[in-house]
C-alpha cells in the first residue's frame, strides 16, 4: 500500500516509533492510512460543527478497518470577508488550500482521503488537491443551513445584505434590520440559498465524487449523520480495494478516473439546470486544469445552450415571485431527482455511464435516489423527507447529535440508547412543519422549464474577447437586450461611492474594472454595489459589468469574469465614460460601439494600474494568476512540463 513508504521494513523503524508515539499499535499501522481532511474553524457557521463531524468520521473509519488521521485546512468565509480588504484573499485561498492538502497527503503517504469541506473556496481547493494526489477520495460536506424566517417568509444571508443597503439609503428602519440580523442565519451550515458553497457541494454529486444527498441534506438533520457514517465506511472499502490490487491505470474510483471530461459535462449540466453560482465556472475550470481535462468556456456555452433551467433557488426566484431554498430542493428530491428529470425528458443529455464513488454509475445512482424513478424505496422517501425538516438545532445540539453516534474501534456504540436519545434531542428540537411546496414547481419537467437554456450564459464581444458570464436564472427577460452608456469605476469602492452619491442613472452600464485576478488582486465579489443598486431601485434599469466576480448570492443584470481583465490590457480597461455598451443575452454578445481603430489608438496610450499589493500571499497570487476564463489558477514558466 502507498503508506508502506513510511511504515514497512527495517529502515522505517524510526517512522513507526513516531507513529506509536501518537498512540497507534502495530495492528493500527498495518491498516490503510486514511486522511480525514477537515476544515473546522469556529468563525465560519458552515464549519463550526466540523470538529464533531471529523471525530465521528474518524471513529467509523477506525471501526471499519482503517486508521484515520485528522488534519485541518484554513477556511475563509466570503460573507465575513465581504466589503473590506479581506475579500481579496478569498479566491487566492483556494490555491493555498489545494497546496496544503497536497503537502500533507504527499508528505505522509496516505492511502486514501475523505474530505470535509463546506463553504466557498474550501470545496474547490480540496477538489483540486484530490486531482493532484489521485488516491481514493470521497467528499462529504458539512451540509446546508436552515433558512431563516422573517415576517412569515423564508430568508437568507443575502436578505440581510439587502436590508443593510436599504437602511443605508433610508428605506428601512434600524429595528427591522436588527430583526433580519437576528434571523437570517439561524443554525450552523453553509448559507441556505444556492450560493457558491451549496452549488459546489451539489456539483460534487453530479461529478461523482460525493454520495447522494451531499449537497442538500440539512446540517442540522440526524439524516446527515448517516451520510457521514456511510462515507466513512465507503472510503475504507475503496482504500482496501485499491490496496489489494488496484493501480492508478486500472482502479476505477480514483479522482482522475471519476472526474473525466464526461463527468465535468455532467457537473455543468446540473449547474445549468439549477442556475448555480457563477463562481462554479471558475472552480470547475480550475479543477479541469488540475485533471488535465481540456474544458473551456466554449464547452460550457454548448452545454448551456442545450440544458434547460428547471430549478430556481434563492437568490433567484420563479416568475411568480416564489423563493426556494436548499431545504426545499432536498424535500423535492435533491440533486438526483433533478438529474433524473433531465434524464427522463432529455435522454441523451447526461453521461449516465460516468463512474462515481458509490461504485455504481451516475445512471444507477439516479435510478436508486430519484424521487421520480419508477420505483422509489421507502428509505429514499424518508431520507428526503426527514433530511429537509428544519429543527432549529443550535451548534451545541448538532455536536451532541453527532456525538450520539460515536463508536468504539470494535464498532460498538459508546452511548446507551437513553443517552443517545437525549443527545439527538428529538423532544427539545422537534422537526418544524415546513411550508408546503409543489415539488413539480421546485424541480420542473423540461416542458415547463423556466428557460430553454441553462442558468449561466457565456458572453463574448469586443470588450470580452475571452468571455464573460451572466446568471440567466436571476435575470428578468426585459433585460435580455440592453444598451446604455458606460459609467467607469476604477474599483468596487469607486462604484459604491458613485451609486450612493446618485451619479448612476437609469439606463447606465456601470463598468467596474481593475478587480480581476491580477488587478484586484484576488478578483473580489461585487456584492456591495449590487446591493446598493437593488436598494435604490436601479436593479432592473441598469447593467453592471466587471472583470471581478459576483457573490453566489447575486442575481440580476450583472456580467462578471470579463476576460482579458484590465490589468492584462483587456478592452474593459480601454473603455471611457459615455461609450455605448450593447448587450444581447440571447445571442451571447457583449460589445462596445467602439471601432477597432479607436481601440488601437486607446491601447497606445493605455497604462495599466500599478499592482496594488506586491508582497505576501496576494502579491504572489497577483504575479502568477491566470485569466478568469482559465479558472484564475496559478501559472509559472515550466508548469506542467
Cα–Cα dist 32/141, whole Å:
23
Greatest Cα pair distance, the chain, in angstroms, is: 79
Rounded (5°) CA angle 558-564-566: 80
Cα–Cα dist 526/375, whole Å:
45
Cα–Cα dist 605/598, whole Å:
11
Which grid cell is 414? Answer: 459508546
* Strand (E) or helix (H) holding 520: none
In this structure, are strands 112-115 and 33-38 parallel, antiparallel, or unpaired? parallel
Decide: helix, strand or coil at residue 359: coil
Cα–Cα dist 159/407, whole Å:
41
Cα–Cα dist 146/330, whole Å:
12
Cα–Cα dist 48/41, whole Å:
5
Rg, C-alpha atoms of the chain: 24
Residue with cell 450612493: 500
pLDDT confidence of residue 454 = 95
What is the sign of the dihedral through the CA atoms of 552, 212, 332 and 225?
A: negative
In terms of Cβ atoms closer than 10 Å to its own Cβ (0-12, 13-18, 19+), residue 360 is middle
- Three-state secondary structure of 569-601: CCHHHHCCCCCEEEEECCCCEEEECCCHHHHHH
What residue ranges do the domains of the chain occupy? Answer: 31-147+186-424, 456-630
Going from the first residue of the chain to its last (641 residues), give the mean pLDDT of each consecutive group of 10, the final group possibly shorter.
95 96 97 98 97 97 97 96 93 98 98 97 98 98 96 92 87 94 95 95 98 98 96 97 81 95 98 94 97 96 97 92 95 98 97 98 98 96 96 91 86 74 57 77 97 95 97 91 98 94 96 97 92 87 96 88 96 98 97 96 92 90 96 86 51
In terms of Cβ atoms closer than 10 Å to its own Cβ (0-12, 13-18, 19+), residue 427 is exposed
In this structure, are strands 580-584 and 481-489 parallel, antiparallel, or unpaired? antiparallel
The DSSP secondary structure of 81-121, one letter per residue, reads HTTSGGGHHHHHHHHHHHHHHHHHHHHHT-SEEEE---STT
Q: Which residues share a beta bridge with 157?
A: none
Decide: helix, strand or coil at residue 307: coil
In terms of Cβ atoms closer than 10 Å to its own Cβ (0-12, 13-18, 19+), residue 383 is buried
Which grid cell is 630? Answer: 482559465
CATH superfamily of 456-630: IlvD/EDD C-terminal domain-like (3.50.30.80)
Q: How far is residue 461 from each of residues 262, 470, 571, measured CA to CA in Å?
A: 28, 14, 10
Cα–Cα dist 458/301, whole Å:
6
Full-model pTM: 0.95
Decide: helix, strand or coil at residue 537: coil
- Indicate the DSSP class of residue 210: B
C-beta of residue 77 within 8 angstroms of C-beta of residue 120? yes
Out of 90, 551, 568, 627, pick the active-site residue: 551
Q: How far is residue 343 from each of residues 62, 194, 352, 355, measured CA to CA in Å?
A: 38, 22, 8, 16
In the residue annotation, 551 being an active-site residue is answered as yes
The H helix count followed by the E strand count for the chain is: 26, 14
- Indicate the DSSP class of residue 216: T
Q: How far is residue 171 from each of residues 123, 184, 495, 537, measured CA to CA in Å?
A: 37, 19, 20, 11
Cα–Cα dist 181/550, whole Å:
22
| Alpha helices, DSSP H, located in 169-314 | 174-183, 196-207, 222-245, 255-258, 261-274, 279-291, 297-306
Cα–Cα dist 549/551, whole Å:
7
Cα–Cα dist 634/141, whole Å:
26
Q: 98-119: per-residue pLDDT in tens?
A: 999 999 999 999 999 999 999 9
Which grid cell is 442? Answer: 421546485
Residue with cell 471529523: 54
Among residues 108, 98, 103, the alpha carbon closest in space to that of 130 is found at 98
Which grid cell is 122? Answer: 474550501
In this structure, are strands 464-471 and 456-461 parallel, antiparallel, or unpaired? antiparallel
C-beta of residue 121 within 8 angstroms of C-beta of residue 91? yes
Amino acid at each position: 500500500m502507498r503508506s508502506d513508504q513510511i511504515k514497512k521494513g527495517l529502515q522505517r523503524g524510526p517512522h513507526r516509533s513516531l507513529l506509536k508515539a501518537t498512540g497507534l499499535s502495530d495492528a493500527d499501522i498495518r491498516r490503510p492510512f486514511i486522511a480525514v481532511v477537515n476544515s473546522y474553524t469556529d468563525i465560519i457557521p458552515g464549519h463550526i460543527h466540523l470538529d464533531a463531524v471529523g471525530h465521528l468520521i474518524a471513529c467509523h473509519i477506525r471501526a471499519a478497518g482503517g486508521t484515520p488521521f485528522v488534519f485541518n485546512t484554513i477556511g475563509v468565509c466570503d460573507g465575513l470577508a465581504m466589503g473590506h480588504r479581506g475579500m481579496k484573499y478569498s479566491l487566492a485561498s483556494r490555491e493555498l488550500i489545494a497546496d496544503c492538502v497536497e503537502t500533507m497527503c504527499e508528505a505522509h503517504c496516505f492511502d486514501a482521503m475523505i474530505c470535509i469541506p463546506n463553504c466557498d473556496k474550501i470545496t474547490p481547493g480540496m477538489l483540486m488537491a484530490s486531482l493532484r494526489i489521485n488516491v481514493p477520495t470521497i467528499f462529504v460536506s458539512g451540509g446546508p443551513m436552515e433558512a431563516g424566517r422573517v415576517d412569515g417568509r423564508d430568508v437568507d444571508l443575502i436578505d440581510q445584505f439587502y436590508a443593510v443597503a436599504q437602511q443605508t439609503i433610508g428605506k428601512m428602519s434600524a429595528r427591522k434590520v436588527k430583526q433580519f440580523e437576528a434571523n437570517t442565519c439561524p443554525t450552523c451550515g453553509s448559507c441556505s440559498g444556492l450560493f457558491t458553497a451549496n452549488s459546489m457541494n451539489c456539483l460534487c454529486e453530479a461529478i461523482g465524487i460525493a454520495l447522494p444527498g451531499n449537497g442538500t441534506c440539512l446540517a442540522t438533520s440526524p439524516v446527515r449523520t448517516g451520510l457521514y457514517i456511510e462515507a466513512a465506511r465507503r472510503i475504507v472499502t475503496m482504500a482496501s480495494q485499491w490496496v489489494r490490487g488496484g493501480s492508478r491505470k486500472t482502479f476505477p474510483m480514483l479522482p482522475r478516473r471519476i472526474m473525466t471530461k464526461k463527468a465535468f459535462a455532467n457537473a455543468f449540466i446540473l449547474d445549468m439546470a439549477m442556475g448555480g453560482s457563477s463562481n462554479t465556472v471558475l472552480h470547475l475550470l480550475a479543477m479541469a486544469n488540475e485533471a488535465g481535462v481540456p474544458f473551456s468556456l466554449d464547452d460550457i456555452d454548448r452545454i448551456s445552450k442545450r440544458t434547460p433551467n428547471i430549478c430556481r433557488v434563492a437568490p433567484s426566484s420563479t416568475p411568480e415571485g416564489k423563493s426556494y431554498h436548499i431545504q426545499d430542493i432536498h424535500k423535492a428530491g435533491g440533486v438526483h431527482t433533478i438529474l433524473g428529470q433531465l434524464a427522463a425528458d432529455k435522454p441523451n443529455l447526461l453521461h449516465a455511464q460516468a463512474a462515481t464513488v458509490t461504485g455504481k454509475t451516475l445512471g444507477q445512482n439516479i435510478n436508486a435516489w430519484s424521487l421520480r424513478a419508477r420505483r422509489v424505496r421507502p428509505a429514499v422517501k424518508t431520507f428526503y423527507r426527514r433530511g429537509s425538516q428544519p429543527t432549529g438545532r443550535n451548534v451545541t445540539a448538532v455536536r451532541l447529535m453527532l456525538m450520539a453516534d460515536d463508536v468504539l474501534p470494535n464498532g460498538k456504540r459508546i452511548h446507551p440508547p437513553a443517552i443517545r436519545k437525549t443527545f439527538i434531542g428529538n423532544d427539545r428540537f422537534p422537526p418544524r412543519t415546513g411550508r408546503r411546496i409543489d415539488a413539480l414547481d421546485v424541480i420542473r419537467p423540461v416542458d415547463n422549464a423556466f428557460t430553454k437554456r441553462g442558468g449561466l450564459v457565456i458572453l463574448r464581444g469586443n470588450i470580452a474577447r475571452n468571455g464573460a458570464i451572466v446568471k440567466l436564472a436571476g435575470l428578468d427577460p426585459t433585460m435580455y437586450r440592453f444598451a446604455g452608456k458606460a459609467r467607469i469605476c476604477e474599483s468596487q469602492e469607486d462604484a459604491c461611492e458613485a451609486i450612493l452619491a446618485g451619479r448612476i442613472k437609469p439606463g447606465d452600464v456601470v463598468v467596474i474594472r481593475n478587480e480581476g485576478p491580477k488587478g484586484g488582486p484576488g478578483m473580489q465579489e461585487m456584492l456591495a454595489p449590487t446591493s446598493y443598486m437593488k436598494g435604490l431601485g436601479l436593479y432592473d434599469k441598469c447593467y453592471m459589468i466587471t472583470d471581478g466576480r459576483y457573490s453566489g448570492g447575486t442575481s440580476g443584470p450583472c456580467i462578471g469574469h470579463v476576460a482579458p481583465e484590465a490589468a492584462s490590457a483587456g478592452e474593459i480597461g480601454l473603455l471611457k465614460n459615455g461609450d455605448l455598451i450593447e448587450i444581447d443575452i440571447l445571442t451571447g454578445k457583449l460589445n462596445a460601439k467602439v471601432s477597432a481603430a479607436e481601440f488601437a489608438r486607446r491601447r497606445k496610450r493605455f497604462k495599466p494600474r500599478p499592482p496594488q499589493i506586491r508582497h505576501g500571499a496576494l502579491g504572489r497570487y497577483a504575479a502568477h494568476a491566470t485569466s478568469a476564463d482559465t479558472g484564475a489558477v496559478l501559472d509559472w514558466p515550466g508548469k506542467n512540463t
